[in-house]
Amino acid sequence: MGSGHTTQASRLRTALPEGAFEIVDEVVEANRRFAGERVTFVQGDICQGGLPPADVCLVRQVLQHLPNDDILRALPHLASYRYVVVTEPLPVAMTAPNADKPLGPGIRARRGSGVVLHEPPFGWPVGTSLLRIPANRAGTQVLETTVYEPATADRPEFTWDDLEAPLAGQLPGPA
Ligand SMILES: C[S@@+](CC[C@H](N)C(=O)[O-])C[C@H]1O[C@@H](n2cnc3c(N)ncnc32)[C@H](O)[C@@H]1O
């Protein structure tokens, strides 16, 4: 989501033969010409939906640009994926998460904040941190990649009984 320009598309072309979703028409057109047929590029706004179906969705340095209201509109659409891998810049010394901002190029990290989806006003389940790397030379920001399973909050907790009950009678018995 928010695939960006062709450098990202070239990585997608070799790494992930799936889809890419981007709001800027010109970027989508350029990516289509560059990437060929293996990646499907879709133009759209993650706040409005129309996201292509998949098991895993990557959202790298996109939410950082959006006001909280736009993120709140995007989250139900992102929650249709089993796994949502979010990469966002965070200040090492966080003043408060999810400080609001206007739409545009500025990011929250410069004001001591960053997007944290398990904190208010977003309320996703806590994700698993996959990677945390320095994001600037001054060492004041990190780029954190977190995998979320947004639907887990609505799912009943899995137990082994759930698995064994439907399989009863189908498994080979003792010899
Ligand atoms: C900082 S770039 C990141 C590009 C790419 N994900 C990467 O990591 O290299 C942010 C991208 O998100 C796109 N974007 C911003 N708001 C969007 C929205 N509401 N829906 C879809 N794409 C959006 C921008 O046009 C831009 O291409």
pLDDT in tens, 13-52: 566 557 889 999 999 998 888 777 778 889 999 999 999 9
Instruction: Tell whether ligand 1 has an atom less than 6 A from the beta carbon of residue 3.
Output: yes
> At 163, which helix (H) or strand (E)?
helix 160-167
pLDDT tens digits for range 47-56? 999 999 888 9
CA separation for the pair 122, 169 (Å, rounded)? 44
Strands lying side by side in the sheet with 83-91:
56-60, 83-91, 141-148, 128-134
Helix axes 6-15, 25-35, angle to 10 degrees: 40
Model pTM?
A: 0.84
Q: Point out the ligand 1 atom lying closest to the alpha carbon of residue 46.
A: 20
Is the distance from the beta carbon of residue 150 to the nearest atom of ligand 1 less than 6 Å?
Answer: no
Closest C-alpha to ligand 1, atom 26: 4
Pairing of strands 141-148, 128-134: antiparallel
Domain spans in the chain, listed from the N-terminal domain onward: 1-44, 57-152
In the chain, where does DSSP find H-type helix? Answer: 6-15, 25-35, 68-78, 160-167
Return the amino acid letter for 48. Answer: Q
Residue 45 CB less than 6 A away from ligand 1: yes
